[in-house]
């Protein structure tokens, strides 16, 4: 990783710096708010944080999660059936912030966030008030992100960009130009939870090239499911993102989720 940007969330920058100082990658874990319901979601998120998450990606339930695979789509359906909303998701973020100091990245789709922004302009204040540190809007490309990114950055929130294996040099440059905090390196084409080859030399080369130019930590995700996969990827990235495997474990309860986090965290060392 080259020298990190200085205009970044203190929590995100500090957490990645602490992990680097400990010679390990950061574990970035995704969980869907309100899955299976509000209280059950909080129990699972608390358990995951206590078990060793470094960064929480908190998913905002949405009715058309096109970038997500069947596991997270099902989680979003359960959450919406349980009454999930953006406001409710921010209440969960605030509850996590009251108990933990780890960075919280709100992971969502553009539609509900932009609708909230246009309704009364209070979205960014609500994010800051809930203790959110960054935004990752999966379907908002860099050329269209100013509507959310600019006010978020003005309030001190990080904007997490995504680079895919199919991204051109020009696209990567555009993503990095608007990214702070860390960049999410998508490990494969397709949707979350797909099959991943962690020994693919082309993936390793892509990660090395991205780390050399990014200026922020690089976290790799999509398809990561096991501690062995985390161990293989930790040598090639500053962070490893796990989503579908955590959501699946959470269906068996907080204890099963905590055990999965511990398994994954055991592979972070280099």
φ and ψ of 47, to 5 deg:
-60, -40
- Active-site amino acid positions: 57, 68
In contact, 58 and 79? CB cutoff 8 Å: no
User: Which residue, 220, 237, 217, is CA-closest to 8?
Assistant: 217
Neighbours of 148 (CB within 10 A): 23
Alpha helix (H) ranges present in the chain?
A: 10-21, 38-51, 70-81, 86-99, 110-120, 123-129, 146-154, 169-178, 201-214, 227-234, 244-250, 254-265
Half-sphere exposure of 78 (CA within 13 A, CB side): 21
- Please confirm whether the linkage preceding 258 is cis (ω < 30° from 0): no
Residue 98 tokens read as 């009251």
The three-state secondary structure class of 58 is strand
Residue 176 tokens read as 């990095």
């Amino acid at each position: 990783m080259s020298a990190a940007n200085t205009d970044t969330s203190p929590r995100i920058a500090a957490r990645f710096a602490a992990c680097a100082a400990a010679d390990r990658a950061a574990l970035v874990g995704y969980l869907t708010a309100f899955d299976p319901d509000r209280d059950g979601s909080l129990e699972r998120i608390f358990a995951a944080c206590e078990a060793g998450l470094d960064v929480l990606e908190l998913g905002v339930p949405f009715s058309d999660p096109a970038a997500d695979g069947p596991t997270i789509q099902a989680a979003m359906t359960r959450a919406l059936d349980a009454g999930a909303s953006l406001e409710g998701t921010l209440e969960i973020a605030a509850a996590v912030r009251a108990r933990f100091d780890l960075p919280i990245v709100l992971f969502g789709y553009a539609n509900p966030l932009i609708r909230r922004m246009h309704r009364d302009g209070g979205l960014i204040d609500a994010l800051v008030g809930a203790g959110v540190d960054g935004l990752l809007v999966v379907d908002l490309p860099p050329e269209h992100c100013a509507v959310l990114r600019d006010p978020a950055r003005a309030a001190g929130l990080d904007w997490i960009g995504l680079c895919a294996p199919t991204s051109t040099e020009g696209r990567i440059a555009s993503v990095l130009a608007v990214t702070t905090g860390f960049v999410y390196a998508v490990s494969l084409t397709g949707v979350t939870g797909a099959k991943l080859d962690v020994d693919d030399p082309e993936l390793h080369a892509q990660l090395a090239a991205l780390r050399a130019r990014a200026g922020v930590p690089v976290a790799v995700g999509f398809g990561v499911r096991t501690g062995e996969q985390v161990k293989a990827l930790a040598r090639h990235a500053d962070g490893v993102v796990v989503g579908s495997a955590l959501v699946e474990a959470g269906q068996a309860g907080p204890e099963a989720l905590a055990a999965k986090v511990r398994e994954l965290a055991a592979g972070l060392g280099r």
